[in-house]
Amino acid sequence: MGTLDGRVAIVSGSGRGIGREIALRLAAEGASVVVNDLDAGPAGQTAADIGAAGGRAVAHVGSVTAEGFAERFVSAAVQSFGGLDIIVNNAGYTWDNVIQKMTDEQWDAIVGVHLTAPFRILRAALPYFKANPAGYHRKVVNISSTSGFYGNAGQANYGAAKAGVIGLTKTLAKEWGRYKVNVNAVAFGFILTRMTESTAADNATVEIEGRQIKVGLNPERAAMAATVIPFGRPGTAREAAGAVYLLCTPDADYINGQCIVVDGGRV
């Protein structure tokens, strides 16, 4: 018996990294999961891995910023598994620059994926929650960042969006309590993903929606960042997923409107 038996979850950006680990953990605890990614390969692989482990999952490919995506994402859960109980707004990436060099495209892209997309997904979910009350607490976990708490040089777009996520979380916690929906957030610090892994290559990039986005940290910078973490290392994607899972469990039924910083005690 899993702690999430019978629950249905949607996890955006869950083909890779932290999102994948979140989807795997929720499924391992009994939830049926709609896995989302921009690319069919990673989304399908995560869903297949969940199935191979005895869980239930379907892949839902697409960009969270696309017109109509939010409604389709919510419908995928209802049509595939008969309901919706857990929403994890995880999809995102960074596209850094100091403000005098940051373009409108950079600003709009990052605010769009990190703040506007979660807003749309939550807006799309509310009619279902209102029309189908549950005898238990449903859960929303939004992904923020320590950049949203404290700022980070070169991340005006990302920091602003992640601060906005905290405001969105606290507001919906007040609006949705009447529907027995807990709305919380986690703010990650230095977590190892493909966006933050140490690389000596100055031109390492990944393609995201047709854009070449620089990824990776200079090894010296990565090592320096690790020294200010009491554990002496960055967190793993699995550890990050554990914090999200905790907020999805019945043990978190009276936690609402909170943003838990998950940074190993760095701040």
pLDDT digits (tens, 9 = 90+) for 137-172: 999 999 999 999 999 999 999 999 999 999 999 999
Q: What is the pLDDT of residues 15-34, one digit of tens each?
A: 999 999 999 999 999 999 99
List Cα–Cα distances, 81 to 32, 63, 85, 121, 181, in angstroms: 7, 22, 11, 18, 19
Predicted pLDDT at 199: 59
Domains and CATH numbers, the chain: 8-189+237-262 (3.40.50.720)
Q: What pTM does this model have?
A: 0.94
Task: Please report which confidence band the pLDDT of residue 196 belongs to, taking 50, 70 and 90 as the band edges.
Answer: confident
Q: Is the pLDDT of residue 214 over 90?
A: no
CB 41 within 8 A of CB 35: no
Which are the catalytic amino acids? Answer: 158
Q: Assign 3-class secondary structure to 28-70.
A: HCCCEEEEEECCHHHHHHHHHHHHHCCCEEEEEECCCCCCCHH
Expressed in angstroms, the distance from the first to the final Cα of the chain is 37
